[in-house]
């Protein structure tokens, strides 16, 4: 259950409950007056029970009359007492509480009633079958107060049903409001991860409200972005591919020219730049292919520990030229499904980049860790150098194509800024993530997380 859904649900539910309780309180605590037509019906009802109480008391005695009124109190919530015309109790319990309501009847009035706090009290003159007069006084709840005087278990069941119905209504309403937002968020996350073909559920556009319009606009925006990015990728691919042929002819012409004039430093420079162009075009084609791929075609089981050791061994040979080393400081036996050549190229790009930027006579440290308590789903590879690091405001940019951090003192003339870009796309293609941060002390720390749950197609 999401935070937005829970907030909306709880606020709606609390509003419904507070509104219901407020209305109940207003109705309960106001003094209500009985309408004339209702008063006549109550008088007839009270007279019926009063006559029955008078007959039982006269025929069977005061005890039987008291028992009858006790039963009346239990069955219909009418607490009653029977008085003689002089005000002396004839039957009933706690009759002294009715003294105020029978005074008018004693003085000769036919009936008298009052209604304090939604409790109706009434006293009236009744006559038994033998013609003996009595005064019957009763007290019964009316309105919401009557509901509270009913059976407690029934009241609890009714209240629970009311709360349940309000919860269901609020749940449906919260789901109706948050459903499109959650669908949009899921689609946005998948587009951010590189799946440009994802769209929000088209059925949501049939809502005919602002949220439906938002979903429709989101899908239109996604369509436009996909077209623009696809055209850019295709253009990049076409240009890179078309450059291959002229470069091939240039290499042939360069060999012919070298045969004619012999060795020449200008020809060596042309050959070096041509090789760099070939390398850059090859990497551009690789980036374009990775951008257009949405899933791995043929993932196979591979051992990450063996892969890391192999990369470290090759990179260590290169690092020795500056007196450095490449060390595997920690490893463990972890296997996953993936593309061996792509993963090797991706991790090797990070390690070789670290070798290129670490200070002379320092080490590049590689660490492979398995799932932890805080991250049970991923294998974690960290690569740390001991160089100058990267400015904090540029850390998020080093995985972009052609982006290179070049400082004034030491320019990086090798590479074209595509290695880490390729690595980022390979890791995302495997469902993982890559991030860079400055290590404590000095150097750059690159962290790669690879999910262990990737299955073969």
Contact 379, 332 (CB under 8 A): no
In the predicted model, is pLDDT for residue 405 greater than 70? no
* Domain CATH code at residue 112: 3.30.450.20
Contact 248, 241 (CB under 8 A): no
- The tens digit of pLDDT for each residue in 140-149 reads 776 554 555 5
Across 299-414, the runs of DSSP E, i.e. the strands, are 300-303, 325-330, 335-338, 363-369, 378-384
| Position with higher pLDDT, 58 vs 7 | 58
Confidence band for 407, pLDDT divided at 50, 70 and 90: low
In the predicted model, is pLDDT for residue 97 greater than 50? yes
Please tell me whether residues 222 and 367 are part of one structural domain.
no
Q: What value does the mean pLDDT of the chain take?
A: 80
Share of the chain above pLDDT 70, in %: 82
| Position with higher pLDDT, 226 vs 407 | 226
Return the C-alpha torsion angle 151, 154, 158, 159, nearest 10.
60
Indicate whether 350 belongs to any domain: yes
- pLDDT of the residue at 311: 92
Please tell me whether residues 24 and 38 are part of one structural domain.
no
- The tens digit of pLDDT for each residue in 371-381 reads 877 777 888 99
Confidence band for 325, pLDDT divided at 50, 70 and 90: very high
**Cα–Cα distance, 301 to 303 (Å, whole number):** 7
In the predicted model, is pLDDT for residue 341 greater than 80? yes
Please tell me whether residues 125 and 206 are part of one structural domain.
no
**Cα–Cα distance, 327 to 365 (Å, whole number):** 5
* Domain CATH code at residue 326: 3.30.565.10
Question: Residue 415 region, left (φ>0) first, then alpha (ψ -120 to 50), else beta?
Answer: left
- The tens digit of pLDDT for each residue in 32-42 reads 555 555 567 77
In the predicted model, is pLDDT for residue 240 greater than 80? no
In the predicted model, is pLDDT for residue 408 greater than 50? no
Please tell me whether residues 43 and 19 are part of one structural domain.
no
* Domain CATH code at residue 228: 1.10.287.130
Contact 362, 385 (CB under 8 A): yes
**Is pTM beyond 0.75 here?**
no
Please tell me whether residues 321 and 289 are part of one structural domain.
no
- pLDDT of the residue at 455: 45
Please tell me whether residues 54 and 93 are part of one structural domain.
yes
In the predicted model, is pLDDT for residue 432 greater than 70? yes
Q: Which of 366, 389, 385, 340 is nearest to 448 (CA)?
A: 366
The residue from 294, 309, 342 where one domain ends is 294
In the predicted model, is pLDDT for residue 365 greater than 80? yes
- The tens digit of pLDDT for each residue in 104-127 reads 888 878 777 776 666 778 888 899
Please tell me whether residues 374 and 286 are part of one structural domain.
no
In the predicted model, is pLDDT for residue 238 greater than 90? no
In the predicted model, is pLDDT for residue 437 greater than 80? yes
- Residues 161-187 have a mean pLDDT of 82
- Residues 221-241 have a mean pLDDT of 78
Please tell me whether residues 363 and 419 are part of one structural domain.
yes
| Position with higher pLDDT, 186 vs 159 | 186
Q: Are strands 363-369 and 325-330 parallel, antiparallel or unpaired?
A: parallel
Looking at the 3D structure of the chain, how many domains does it have? 4
Please tell me whether residues 161 and 19 are part of one structural domain.
yes
Indicate whether 206 belongs to any domain: yes
Please tell me whether residues 69 and 213 are part of one structural domain.
no
Please tell me whether residues 419 and 305 are part of one structural domain.
yes
Please tell me whether residues 245 and 333 are part of one structural domain.
no
- Residues 390-403 have a mean pLDDT of 82
Indicate whether 189 belongs to any domain: no
Distinct helix (H) and strand (E) counts, the chain: 11, 12
Indicate whether 456 belongs to any domain: no
Range of the domain at 418: 300-451
């Amino acid at each position: 259950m999401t935070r937005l859904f829970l907030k909306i649900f709880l606020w709606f539910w609390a509003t419904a409950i507070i509104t219901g309780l407020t209305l109940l309180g207003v109705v309960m605590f106001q003094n209500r007056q009985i309408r004339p037509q209702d008063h006549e019906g109550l008088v007839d009802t009270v007279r019926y029970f009063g006559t029955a109480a008078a007959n039982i008391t006269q025929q069977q005695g005061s005890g039987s009359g008291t028992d009858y009124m006790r039963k009346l109190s239990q069955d219909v919530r009418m607490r009653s007492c029977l008085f003689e015309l002089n005000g002396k109790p004839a039957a009933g319990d706690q009759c002294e509480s009715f003294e105020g309501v029978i005074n008018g009847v004693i003085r000769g009035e036919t009936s008298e009633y009052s209604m304090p706090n939604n409790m109706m009290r009434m006293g009236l003159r009744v006559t038994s079958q033998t013609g003996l007069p009595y005064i019957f006084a009763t007290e019964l709840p009316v309105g919401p107060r009557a509901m509270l005087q009913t059976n407690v278990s029934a009241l609890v069941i009714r209240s629970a049903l009311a709360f349940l119905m309000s919860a269901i209504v609020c749940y449906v309403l919260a789901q109706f409001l948050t459903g499109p937002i959650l669908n949009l968020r899921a689609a946005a996350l998948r587009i951010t991860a590189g799946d440009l073909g994802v769209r929000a559920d088209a059925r949501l556009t049939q809502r005919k409200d602002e949220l439906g319009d938002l979903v429709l606009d989101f899908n239109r925006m996604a369509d436009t972005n996909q077209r623009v990015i696809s055209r850019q990728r295709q253009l990049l691919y076409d240009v890179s591919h078309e450059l291959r042929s002229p470069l091939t002819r240039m290499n042939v012409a360069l060999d012919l020219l070298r045969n004619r004039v012999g060795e020449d430093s200008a020809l060596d420079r042309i050959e070096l730049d041509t090789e760099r162009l070939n390398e850059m075009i090859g990497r551009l084609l690789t980036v374009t292919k990775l951008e257009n791929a949405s899933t791995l075609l043929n993932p196979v089981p591979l051992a990450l520990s063996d892969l890391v050791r192999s990369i470290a061994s090759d990179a260590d040979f290169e690092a020795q030229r500056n007196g450095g080393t490449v060390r595997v400081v920690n490893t463990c036996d972890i296997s996953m499904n993936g593309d061996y050549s792509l993963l090797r190229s991706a991790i090797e790009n990070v390690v070789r980049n670290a070798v290129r930027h670490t200070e002379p006579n320092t080490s590049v440290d590689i660490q492979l860790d398995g799932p932890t308590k805080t991250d049970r789903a991923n294998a974690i590879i960290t690569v740390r150098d001991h160089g100058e690091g990267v400015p904090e405001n540029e850390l998020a940019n080093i995985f972009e194509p052609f982006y290179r951090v070049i400082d004034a003192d030491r320019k990086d003339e090798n590479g074209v800024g595509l290695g880490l870009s390729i690595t980022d796309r390979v890791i995302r293609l495997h469902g993982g993530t890559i991030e860079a941060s400055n290590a404590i002390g000095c150097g750059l720390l690159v962290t790669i997380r690879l999910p262990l749950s990737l299955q073969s197609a």
